[in-house]
Structure 1
Amino acid sequence: MTAVLSRDAQERTQVRGRARKGGLPPRMRRVAAVNELWTFLILVALVAFFTAAAPGKFFTAYNFTQIGVNASIYLVLGVGMTYVIITAGIDLSIGSVVVLAAVGAGLYNIHHGGPASGWTTVGICVLIALAIGAGWGALQGALISSGKVPPLIVTLGGLGAALGLAQLATGGQDPAGAASADLQSTLGYGRLFGVPWLVILAAAVTLVFGLVLARTRFGNHTLAIGSNPAAAQRAGVRVGRHLVKVYALMGLLAGLGAVMWLASYGTTSIAGHSTDNLKVITAVVLGGTSLFGGRGSVLGTVIGVFIPAVLTTGLIVIGVQQYWQDVAVGLVLVAAVYIDHMRRRTRERR
C-alpha cells in the first residue's frame, strides 16, 4: 500500500531539515517544528495582559474554574471539529445540532418525570441526545461524500433544518423541566476533588480522541484524506465511508455537548447557540488546524479553545461591553485564518 503522508508530517520534516541546515541545536529544532507552541505563547500573553490590567480580579482560582467550565462544552465540540477541518471540511450546523439534541432529550425527560426523573430516564435522555447528534452528522456526511455536495452548503442547510425542527417541536420556546435535577446536581454542579465534572468529562473526551487522532489508523486516514483525498483513495482508504464516520463523530460530540448544556444550565437554550460554530471554528483554527486540511492536532485545539475563553472573561473583568467581546472573537478568527493562509502560501513557495 502506498504511504500517504499528511501535510503536517511533511511540514515538520521540512522544518527539521531547514533547522539542520541552519545549525540549530536539537532542542531548538524540535521547538521550531511545534505549531502548538506559538498558540500557547499567545494564550500566556493574554493571561499576563489581563492579570496586569485587572490586578487581583482576573488571576483568581474562581475565574480559572469558571473559564474551565465555560470552555468545557466548546472543547468537546472543538475535538469533533478538529477531525472535520483536518479532512478539509467544515460544519456550520453544530450549534443547531446541540439545540436539536437537547430538545429531543429534554422533551423525553419532561414526559417521564421532569426535574424529578430518575437515573434511568437520565440514561435514556443521554442516549437520545447522542443518537440524534450522531444520526444528523452521519446524514450530512453521506450527502457530502455520496452526493458530492460541498460541506459548506450541506452544513449551512443543516444549520437551518436542525434549528427549524427544534423550533417546530417546542413552538420556539424553551420547554420547562427539560433537565433532571439528578443530572444537574452531579454533572452540572458536582466536583471531584474540587474539579468540576464538566471539566473532567471534557478532559477525558480530549484525551481519548487526541490519542485516536495521533496513534490510530482512523487518525492517519483522517489526516491522509485532508492532505490528498485522491492519493488516500489509491492507497486503499475508503474516503466516502470515512467522511461519514468523521461527520458522525462531530454529531456525536454535539449530542454530548447538548447533555453537558442541559446539565449546566437546565434548559435547551434554543436561541443561545447561534455563534457556537464561530467560537468552535475560531478555537480549532487558532490551535493550528489548517482550513485547507491535512494538518492539525487535538492538543492545539485545547489551547485554541482557551484563547477565546480567556479573552471573553478578561474583557468582562476589565469592563468591556458584551458586543465588543463578539467583535474581538470575530477579529481573532479572521486573523487566525489569514495567518493559516500565509503559512500555506509559504509552504507552497518552497
Structure 2
Amino acid sequence: MTTIPTDPQTVPTDDELPPTPTATPKLPRSVSALVFLRDQGVFVLWGVLIVVFAFVGSPYFFTVDNAMLVANAGAVTAIFAAGVGIGVMTGSLDLSLPGTAAVAGCVCGWLLTHGSPTWLSLLAGLACGLVIGLINGLIVLRGFNSIIVTIGAFSVLSGLAAIITSGNTFPGLTQLEFMGTRHYFAFGGFAGVPAPVLIVAAVYAIGFVFLTRTRDGLRVMAVGANPEAVRRAGINSGLYKVIGFVISGTLAALGGLVSTATVTQASPTASAGIIFDSLTAVSLTGIAMSGGRGSLPRVLVGSLILATIANGLLIRGVQPYWATVSTGVLLIGSLFFERAIQAGVANRLMSANLSVHQKKV
C-alpha cells in the first residue's frame, strides 16, 4: 500500500501520485431500463397475459391441466421457433422449414407403412432435415440470398412430399404415439406431461447449453454478429453458417415428426402458417434479424405466449380466428417495438456522451 506524506513540503505532485483505478462506466438508468425491456420484456408480457386470463378465464384457465394444454399446444411451434431462432442468430433466415417438416414426416410415414422399424424411420426423417439444411447452407455460401434460396427450397420440398405420398396421406401411424399423444407422469405422478412437452424441454436444454457453454455454439453466435471479424480471427465462418442451417433443418424435421406423431398420420401438406407462427415467437423475444443476438429461453416463452393467447380466447368463447389476428398484430407490433427500443437506446447514449463531453470542457 502506498503512503502519501502529509507534510506540505513533501506532498508529491499529481504526476508522482500512484494511478487511481478507474471504475467501469455505468449505463444511464434510462438506457439500462430500455435494454432490460428489450431483453426481458417477453417474460413480462407472458406474466401479464397469465394474470389477465386467470381473471377473465376463471376458474378454467389457471389450472394444472390447462397449463399442460397450453404447453402441448405450443410445443410444435416451439420446436420450429428454435430452428428459426438459431437460423436468425447465425444471420440466415431459413423459410424452407415447413417443406422440410413435410418431407421428414412423409419419409418416416412411408417407411413405417412398408414395415421398417420405428427407430429407423425416425432416424431417416431426421436425416432428411440434416441433409436439406446442409444443401441450403452450401448453396447460400455460394453468395446467394438465403431468403430466396429457402423459398425456392420450400417449393421444391412441398412437391417432393407430395411425390413421396402420391398426393395422399399415410394414416394410422400408431407406432409414433409414444412421442405424440402419450402422456408421461411427472412431479410424483401429480401431472401427466404430454410427450411433445418433454421433447421441447430436451431440445431447449441441449440448445441452450450448446449456444452458451460450448466453443462451437459461441462461434455460431459470433458468425451471426460479425462474420468478417470471425473470418479475420482465423475461424471458418462459412462452416458455422452451414452448421446453423443444419441445426435449423434438423429441428424442422423433428417438428414434422412430432406433428406426424400427434395426429398419427403423415401429410404432404406444408403449412406456411408454421413459419409465420415461428417468426412471431422469435420476433417477440427481441432477437435482431441481422443476427448475433438472441436467447433460446426467450424463444420458448414467445411460443408459449402464442399458445396462451389462443387458449385464453378459446376459454372465453372467442372465435379461433381472432387468435390469428392477434398473432399478426404481435408480429407487426414486435417490429415497431424493437425499432423504438433501439432508437431510444441510441438517442440516450448519445445524450449521455454529449453531457459527459460538455462537463469535461
Q: TM-score, normalised by structure 2?
A: 0.82
Q: Deviations over 1:209-229 (max 9, x none)?
A: 111111112222122122111
Distance of aligned partners of 1:186 and 1:285 in 2 relative to their CA distance in 1, 3 Å threshold: closer
User: Is 2:227–2:237's contact at 8 Å kept on the other side of the alignment?
Assistant: yes
Partner of 1:183: 176
State the partner residue of 1:122. Answer: 118
Distance 1:244 1:96 in 2: 18
Tell whether the 8 Å contact from 2:225 to 2:293 is kept in structure 1 after alignment. Answer: yes
- Kindly provide the amino acid, as one letter, of the partner of residue 52 in structure 1: F
CA RMSD of aligned residues (A): 2.3
Structure 2 CA distance for aligned equivalents of residues 232 and 17 of structure 1: 27
Aligned length: 320
Mind listing any 5+ residue stretches in structure 2 that lack a counterpart?
1-23, 187-191, 350-361
Whole-angstrom CA distance in 1 between matches of 2:163 and 2:132:
17
TM-score, normalised relative to structure 1 = 0.85
Question: Deviation per CA, 1:235-264, whole angstroms, max 9, x where unpaired?
Answer: 122111111111011111111112212221
Q: Distance between the aligned counterparts of 1:31 and 1:320, measured in 2?
A: 34
Aligned partners of 1:32, 1:90: CA distance in 2, in Å? 24
1:101, distance to aligned residue in structure 2 (A): 0.4
In structure 2, C-alpha distance between the alignment counterparts of 1:320 and 1:168, rounded to whole Å: 39
Whole-angstrom distance in 2 between the partners of 1:30 and 1:348: 13
Partner of 1:41: 44
Distance of 1:62 and 1:35 partners within structure 2: 32
Q: How many angstroms does 1:347 deviate by?
A: 4.8
Q: Distance in 2 between matches of 1:110 and 1:182?
A: 10
Partner of 2:69: 66
The answer as to whether partners of 1:75 and 1:202 remain within 8 angstroms in 2 is yes
Q: What's the CA shift string for 1:136-172, capped at 9, x where partnerless?
A: 1111111111x21111101111111111111122232
Output the amino acid matched with 1:260.
Answer: V
Native 8 Å contact 1:144 1:154 kept in 2 = yes
Question: Deviation string for 1:192-234 (max 9, x for gaps)?
Answer: 3222222112101101111111111222212212211111111
Distance 1:29 1:303 in 2: 22
Rounded to whole Å, the distance in 2 between the matches of 1:34 and 1:218 is 29
Is 1:218 paired with 2:216?
Answer: yes
SS in 1 for 2:81: helix
C-alpha separation between the residues in 1 aligned to 2:195 and 2:323? Answer: 27
Residue 271 of structure 1 deviates from its aligned partner by: 3.2
Structure 1, unaligned runs of 5 or more: 1-15, 113-119
Checking the alignment, whether the CA contact within 8 Å between 1:36 and 1:299 is kept in structure 2 is: no
Q: Quote the residue 2:156 is aligned against.
A: 161
What does residue 306 of structure 2 align with?
308
Letter paired with 2:291: G
Cα offset, 1:29, TM superposition:
6.5
Superposition deviation, residue 35 in structure 1: 4.3
2:91 matched residue in structure 1:
88
Bigger fraction of residues in helix? 1
Q: What is the one-letter code of the residue matched to 2:94?
A: D
Query: Equivalents in 2 of 1:205, 1:103: separation in Å?
Result: 22
Verify: 1:323 aligned to 2:321, yes or no. yes
The separation in 2 between residues aligned to 1:226 and 1:344, in whole angstroms, is 18
Moved more, 185-194 or 328-337: 185-194
The structure having more radius of gyration, on CA atoms, is 2
C-alpha displacement of 1:173: 2.3
CA spacing shift, 1:230–1:185, aligned 2, 3 Å = closer
C-alpha displacement of 1:37: 2.4
